[in-house]
């Protein structure tokens, strides 16, 4: 596989990053994951908008423009012949002798991109529906910044796996914040789509924004508010959204079936419309 590191396209086995990289030593870096459909990028502008916001919140300078980044994404898609999959982009504060204080502003960033060829549209997990368990949300309090500090979500997902589930939904003060790597939704017995409102408690999902627009256009009732684990366990449907999972139905929460225990019609409709729109608007 060809990867991109600081201006060069090269085989993954030849790519090199300093042991002093602040991404490696301090998780001092941000990332984006963009969906590729039909060899094209879905919601690229939205991912760039969020990348700039994450960089800004961390006071991290970054010289490349969105046009530069679009060219790099496209070149990697071409070199790796990606029809469907993901492009991962990571920007760190660069490398400097280990020190908690940030290095000088002019320290060059480390910029890495790679692709993952994956079948995301035809997904067995989306067909069957995910089983999730709830796990305490012990992340730091700036979950709105997309940093590479992913140890806790990784541990939460391991715990979910050890409990026989596919994913973890994180819970803070009795309310679901989001999934380990996705935004979380329920559909109430009355048919209202509920997802937590935007704050520093969750990542502002690019897919979330697009899917809520689909829901609005379908004239579904939408409530952006926290929901409890109990409300989720008693919902008619549940699902999650992310660039890699698109819209993914959830059919079991803490071992209890959600509704009839099969993917629900609202999640199915949203997945289909989201896909159609994404294919039509990809760049």
Q: Based on the shown chain and the rule CB under 6 A, indicate whether residue 87 belongs to the binding site for ligand PMP.
A: no
Q: Which of 40, 117, 146, 161 is catalytic?
A: 146
Applying CB under 6 A, does 181 fall inside the site for ligand PMP? yes
Q: Does 208 bind ligand PMP (CB under 6 A)?
A: yes
Residue 147 binding ligand PMP, by CB under 6 A: no
> Among 30, 69, 77, 243, which residue interacts with ligand PMP (rule: CB under 6 A)?
243
Nearest approach in angstroms of CB 185 to ligand PMP is 11
Minimum distance from CB of 182 to ligand PMP (Å)?
Answer: 5
109 is a site residue for ligand PMP (CB under 6 A): no
Q: Is 195 in the site for ligand PMP (CB under 6 A)?
A: no
Distances from the Cα of 258 to the Cαs of 131, 183, 216, 218, in angstroms?
10, 17, 23, 23
Minimum Å gap between C-beta 123 and ligand PMP is 15
**Catalytic-residue membership of 146:** yes
Binding residue (CB under 6 A) for ligand PMP from 207, 253, 264, 267 = 207
Between CA 263 and CA 241 the distance in angstroms is 14
Scan for tokens 């994956």, then name that residue.
118
Nearest to 84, CA basis, from 23, 37, 16: 37
Q: Does position 214 bind ligand PMP by CB under 6 A?
A: no
Q: How far apart are CA 9 and CA 73, in angstroms?
A: 11
Residue 53, C-beta contacts closer than 8 angstroms, at least 6 positions apart: 145
165 CB burial (10 A radius; 0-12, 13-18, 19+): buried
Helix (H) or strand (E) holding 134: strand 130-136
Question: Could you tell me which stretch among 90-98, 129-137, 215-223, 236-244 binds ligand PMP (CB under 6 A)?
Answer: 236-244
Report H helices in the chain: 22-26, 44-57, 66-80, 124-128, 151-162, 206-217, 229-233, 265-281
Q: Provide the 3-class DSSP secondary structure of residue 158.
A: helix
Task: Give yes or no for residue 282 binding ligand PMP (CB under 6 A).
Answer: no
If one asks whether residue 205 binds ligand PMP (CB under 6 A), the answer comes out as: yes
Q: What does the binding site for ligand PMP look like in residue numbers (CB under 6 A)?
A: 33, 178, 181-183, 203, 205-208, 241-243
Catalytic residues: 146
């Amino acid at each position: 596989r060809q990867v991109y590191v600081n201006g060069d396209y090269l085989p993954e086995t030849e790519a090199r990053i300093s042991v002093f990289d602040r991404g490696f030593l301090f998780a001092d870096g941000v990332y984006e994951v963009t969906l590729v459909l039909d060899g094209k990028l879905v919601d690229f502008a939205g991912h760039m908008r969020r990348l700039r916001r994450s960089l800004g919140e961390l006071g991290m300078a970054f010289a490349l423009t969105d046009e530069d980044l679009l060219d790099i994404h496209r070149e990697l898609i071409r070199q790796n012949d990606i029809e469907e999959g993901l492009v991962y982009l990571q920007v760190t504060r660069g490398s400097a002798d280990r020190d908690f204080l940030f290095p000088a502003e002019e320290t060059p960033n480390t910029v890495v991109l790679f692709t993952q060829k994956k079948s995301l549209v035809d997904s067995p997990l989306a067909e069957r529906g995910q089983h999730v368990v709830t796990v305490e949300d012990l992340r730091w309090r700036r979950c709105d910044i997309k940093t590479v500090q992913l140890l806790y979500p990784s541990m939460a997902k391991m715990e979910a796996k050890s409990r026989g589930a596919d994913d973890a939904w994180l819970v803070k003060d009795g309310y679901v914040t989001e999934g380990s790597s996705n935004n979380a939704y329920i559909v109430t017995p009355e048919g209202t789509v509920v997802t937590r409102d935007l704050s520093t408690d969750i990542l502002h999902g690019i897919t979330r924004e697009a899917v809520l627009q689909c829901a609005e256009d379908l004239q579904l009732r939408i409530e952006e508010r926290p929901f409890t684990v109990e409300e989720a366990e008693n919902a008619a449907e549940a699902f999650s959204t992310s660039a890699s999972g698109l819209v993914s139905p959830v059919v079991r929460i803490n071992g209890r079936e959600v509704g009839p225990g099969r993917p629900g019609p609202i999640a199915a409709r949203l997945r289909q419309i989201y896909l159609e729109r994404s294919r039509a608007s990809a760049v």
